[in-house]
Amino acid sequence: MIRKKSLSAPYLVWMVLFIAAPLAIVVYYALTDKSGNFTLENLMTIGRYSSVFARSLILAAIATVICLVLSFPVSYFLSRLRASKQKIMLMLVMLPMWMNFLLRTYAWMSLLENNGIINRLLGLIGLGPFQMINTSGAVVLGMVYNFLPYMILPLYTAMTKIDDSIIEAAQDLGAGTIKTLLRVLLPLSAPGIATGITMVFVPSVSTFIISRMLGGGANLLIGDLIELQFLGNSYNYNLGSAMSLVLMVIVLLCMSFTNGFDDEDMEGVV
Amino acid sequence: MNKIVSLKNIVVGFDDEPVLNGLSLDIHDKEFVTFLGPSGCGKTTTLRVIGGFVQPKSGNVFFNGQDITNFPPYKREVNTVFQKYALFPHLNVYENVAFGLRLKKMDEREIRSRVSEMLEVVGLKGFERRSTTNLSGGQQQRVAIARGLVNHPKVLLLDEPLGALDLKLRKEMQLELKRLQQAMDITFIYVTHDQEEALTMSDTIVIMKDGNIQQIGGPIDIYNEPENAFVASFIGESNIIDGIMLRDFSVEFAGNAFTCVDKGFAHNELVQVVIRPEDIQVVPAIRGQLTGVVKDVIFKGVHYEMHVEQAGYEWIIHSTQASEPGELIGMCIGPDEIHIMRRSEG
């Protein structure tokens, strides 16, 4: 036992140095003012930015739902393919992830611009131009595009464990397509859905690159706000730390919600 | 008897490989019917055609006289017990059994009474709240059977349901399935590759090979009067030798003429003769119709299995008395024990 425990020592050191210690520092700054005195003012000030928090949560939630709706059929289709084909198709799903994140987002910028490729093509058939860049829609699009594979993969993994005969059993007992989906497929995919939601929602709610590049100044998100406190003109790392802390609590709450759902529904599955 | 399921010229192929070649079959109501054959013979595919999981390329499926060829599985009045049970892992025993009834929007009280009645029938009373994943193979099997039967289907399809159980449990379940079928008074269509299982449970056995039906009949008929060499060798052990039908009631094989009970063959028609190992009587060499040398003797529990060489042919004999290896023995075969089949290819 002791020997097995000692194997985790390197990670333990890592955790203390790079996770626990920075977290403590964040908490310290969040609860102090510039001269180092204890204060709750940073946390109180955040109320002023509640609209930004709300926008972040809403846009991230919309992106997560879109990812889920898009991924569910794709993942099911993938999980029913023959093993050899599954590998190729999974590669295709992952392919965009091999390209640099910034590059991908830049590509969307030039696509969505007022005189970008899409508007010019639409112009050829006499439509537009449409305002696409610098809208909240563009931000959601960027989130969905970048984080979609993180939804597909866990869903696919959960679904490969569902044997064809279980689907057939549901049909045999009188369930049509919708009933099979609701009563069998959905509950059995729940662990994948929970993981997928966490893996899409968390990076979406804290992103700042996507909102900056595709959303313009009007679609500021929490991530941008925090960045401004450390690198921007406002430069107030006490407030920035407080914001990070609040964001962390929100994410934690969201995760415990999805995990709770997961435990309840999947009791006795493993 | 009433025909409950009829298959007419069913053709099924996967990836251009034929699986069923124009199969036709009538299944009577309230019978225990077994599809028996080696793996790849098309028995499971036939079952899946009836269940609606395989769409035939051509041909029709009739249920109670109605053409249901294009009906999806959920519209068919049959239920299936799957090979690997296919229980819903997210539901407990009670909810698994209640699944079909809930889809029918049945009244909750009715559901409760029918589920508990069915759990009692399969011997799982008190297991309602248990998770299906903690049950033994035999218990899971019972849940699967209860889940099908609780819907009161006219036909229950069973796809090698006992394959994963150990021998003792399998034998128990065989008897129990037969009892259930009689108690529920419905049709069971059962798929297996185990000939003993088929003989134990069935009213009718359908023997299949390469997507074709070889013989349909009751267990006794099929055992005693196999129609061809394949059926004879698949159902139990057999001595199959070439012979010539001399005239009615007389056949020549192994260099000797024997009296038999078969007639209606052409004069000197080439035939195959089937003799079951337990039907050969061992006698002293001078009194035998045939004589042979014992090559080896194997103890099989109830009987001894002997391999006896006679004029280049190796006979299998089952006898309760052992002979010595190397001993010269005589063999006698009564007229009733000789089964004549028309010569089949292969």
Which CATH number fits the domain that encloses residue A138?
Answer: 1.10.3720.10
Closest chain B C-alpha to A169 CA, distance in angstroms = 7
Q: CA B80 from chain center: how many Å?
A: 17
Instruction: Please report the pLDDT score of residue A36 as a whole number.
Output: 83
Question: How confident is the model at residue A1, as a pLDDT?
Answer: 53
Closest CA to A180 of B82, B264, B180, B72: B72
Cβ-Cβ contacts under 8 Å, A190 against chain B = 90
Residue A90 domain flag: yes
pLDDT of residue A2: 59
Q: Is residue A45 part of a domain?
A: no
The third-level CATH classification (topology) of the domain covering B239-342 is OB fold (Dihydrolipoamide Acetyltransferase, E2P) (2.40.50)
Do A28 and A133 fall within a single domain?
A: no
Q: Identify whether A239 is part of a domain.
A: yes
Contact A157, A170 (CB under 8 A): no
B316 Cβ partners below 8 Å, 6+ apart?
A: B237, B238, B239, B277, B305, B306, B307, B308
In a domain? residue A116: yes
Tokens of B151: 């819907």
Residues A54 and A28 in one domain: no
Please count the residues of chain A: 270
Chain A residue with minimum CA distance to B81: A169
* Burial environment of residue A65 by CB neighbours within 10 A (0 to 12, 13 to 18, 19 or more): middle
Asked whether the ipTM of the predicted complex exceeds the cut of 0.90, the reply is no
The Cα of B315 is separated from the nearest Cα of chain A by a number of Å equal to: 45
Tokens 């074709």 correspond to what residue?
B212
Copy the structure tokens of residue B332.
């006698």
Which residue, among A221, A88, A80, has the nearest Cα to A142 in the 3D structure? Answer: A221
Give residues with Cβ within 8 angstroms of B182, minimum separation 6. none
Q: Would you call A186 an interface residue with chain B, using a CB distance cutoff of 8 Å?
A: no
Please report the pLDDT score of residue A262 as a whole number.
56
Which chain B residues are Cβ-neighbours of A265 within 8 angstroms? 90
- A220 lies in the same domain as A181: yes
* Bridge partner list, B60: B8
Distance CA B32, CA B26 (A): 13
| A67/A167 same-domain check | yes
- Half-sphere exposure of residue B57, counting CA atoms within 13 Å on the CB side? 13
Whether residue A147 sits in one domain with residue A20: no
Residues 6+ apart with CB under 8 A from A154: A191, A192, A193, A195, A196, A199
Residues A61 and A147 in one domain: yes
Closest CA to A174 of B203, B202, B339, B105: B105
Nearest chain A CA: its distance from B13 CA (Å):
18
Q: What is the pLDDT of residue B114?
A: 95
pLDDT at A186: 94
Same domain, A31 and A123: no
Which structural domain range is residue A3 located in? 1-38
Cα A175 to Cα B211: distance, rounded to the nearest angstrom: 30
pLDDT at A101: 86
Tell me whether A176 touches chain B (CB under 8 Å).
yes
Tokens linked to A46 = 């955040």
Query: Rg of chain B over CA atoms, in angstroms?
Result: 24
Dist CA B250 CA B335 (whole Å): 9
Q: Where are chain B's structural domains?
A: 3-229, 239-342
CA B59 and chain centroid, separation: 24
Residues with pLDDT less than 70, chain A: 1-3, 260-270
**Chain B interface residues (partner A, CB cutoff 8 A):** 51-53, 72-74, 78-80, 82-84, 86-90, 92, 99-100, 103-104, 131-134, 147-148, 151
Q: At B308, is the secondary structure helix, strand, or coil?
A: strand
Closest CA to B238 of B139, B285, B305, B164: B305
Q: Can B3-229 and B239-342 be said to share one CATH topology?
A: no
Do residue A5 and residue A124 come from a single domain?
Answer: no
**Nearest CB to B86; choose among A166, A267, A269:** A166
Sequence-separated (6 or more) residues with CB below 8 Å from residue B259: B249, B250, B335
In a domain, A270, yes or no: no
- Cβ of B75: how many Cβ atoms within 10 Å? 12
The pair of three-digit structure tokens given for residue B280, joined into one six-digit string:
């050969």
In a domain, A139, yes or no: yes
A174 in reach of chain B (CB within 8 A): yes
Total domains, chain A: 2
- For residue A184, list chain B residues with Cβ-Cβ distance below 8 A: 88, 90
Same domain, residue pair A23 and A75: no
Same domain, A9 and A58: no
Q: In whole angstroms, what is the distance from residue A265 CA to residue A253 CA?
A: 19
**Helical ranges in B210-332 per DSSP H:** 219-224, 229-234
pLDDT of residue A267: 41
What is the architecture, at CATH level 2, of domain B3-229?
A: 3-Layer(aba) Sandwich (3.40)
Residue A145 shares a structural domain with residue A19? no
Residue A162 lies in a domain: yes
What is this structure's pTM?
0.82
Q: Is residue A43 part of a domain?
A: no
* Yes or no, beta carbons of B133 and A268 under 8 Å apart: yes
> Tell me, what DSSP letter sits at residue B301?
S
pLDDT per position in chain B (346 positions), as tens? 689 999 999 999 888 788 999 999 999 999 999 999 998 899 999 999 999 999 999 999 999 999 999 999 999 999 999 988 899 999 999 999 999 999 999 999 999 999 999 999 888 999 999 999 989 988 999 999 999 999 999 999 999 998 888 888 889 889 999 999 999 999 999 999 999 899 999 999 999 999 999 999 999 999 888 888 899 888 888 899 999 999 889 999 988 889 998 888 888 889 999 999 999 999 998 888 999 999 999 998 889 999 999 988 899 999 998 888 989 999 999 998 998 888 765 4
Backbone angles phi, psi at B59, to 5 degrees: 105, 170
Six-digit token pair at A84? 């050899």
Residue B226 token pair: 């196999």
Nearest to A141 by CA among A211, A194, A90: A211
